[in-house]
């Protein structure tokens, strides 16, 4: 069951959901709350050298996303206002300005989805990872793609995505753990 705006507000008031800073009135729609773009952008480094290629094997026994990110991600260049320009076919990792918590006891999970205005420009906000699990705490990483033929400038503070909250039947047997719990950047932790 999807929560409507009044139920989202009630969950915030009751502490069943935390969003900091708390959303303003204009961030709500009938069944979602908009989140804004933070000011940190990363992109994958291009292989260097003539004919160089890089292959990452997520099935390898020693695969570690934080290590791969440390070795292969770089900060994306921004302009004087902190905005990044995403070229056609480009891919960036960004993060929300807001911190989100979904306590297991609240029986809530969420889906992060793009906003239709940006989608119509060709911007995709997540690749295949829309789920924000019950028990999650942190800022939400966004996998931002540009399917357009135009450069798109993305500024910190831009309403970038929406969270759609759903009720979870039952209580998960364990607290959420993992490298992305309590994240403040896109790299995770070891």
Catalytic residue among 7, 101, 113, 143: 143
- CA–CA distance, 44 with 136 (Å, rounded to integer): 26
- CA–CA distance, 112 with 33 (Å, rounded to integer): 10
Verify cis geometry, omega within 30 degrees of 0, for the bond prior to 175: no
95 in Cβ contact with 160 (< 8 Å): no
Q: Any catalytic annotation for residue 87?
A: no
| Residue for token pair 């135009």 | 150
| Residue for token pair 């995505």 | 161
Give the residue numbers annotated as catalytic, written as ranges.
Answer: 143
């Amino acid at each position: 069951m999807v929560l409507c705006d009044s139920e989202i507000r009630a969950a915030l008031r009751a502490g069943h959901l935390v969003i900091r800073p708390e959303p303003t009135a204009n961030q709500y729609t009938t069944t979602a709350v908009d989140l804004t773009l933070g000011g940190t952008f990363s992109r994958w480094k291009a292989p260097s050298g003539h004919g160089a290629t890089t292959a990452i094997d997520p099935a390898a026994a020693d695969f570690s996303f934080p290590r791969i990110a440390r070795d292969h991600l770089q900060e994306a260049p921004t302009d004087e206002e902190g905005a990044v320009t995403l070229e056609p076919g480009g891919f960036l990792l960004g993060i929300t300005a807001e911190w989100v918590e979904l306590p297991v006891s609240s029986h809530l999970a969420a889906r992060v989805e793009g906003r239709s205005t940006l989608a119509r420009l060709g911007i995709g906000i997540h690749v295949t990872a829309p789920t924000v699990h019950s028990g999650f705490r942190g800022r939400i990483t966004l996998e931002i793609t540009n399917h357009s033929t135009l450069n798109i400038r993305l500024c910190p503070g831009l309403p970038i995505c929406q969270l759609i909250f759903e009720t979870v039947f039952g209580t998960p047997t364990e607290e959420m753990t993992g490298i992305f719990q309590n994240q403040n950047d896109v790299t995770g932790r070891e």
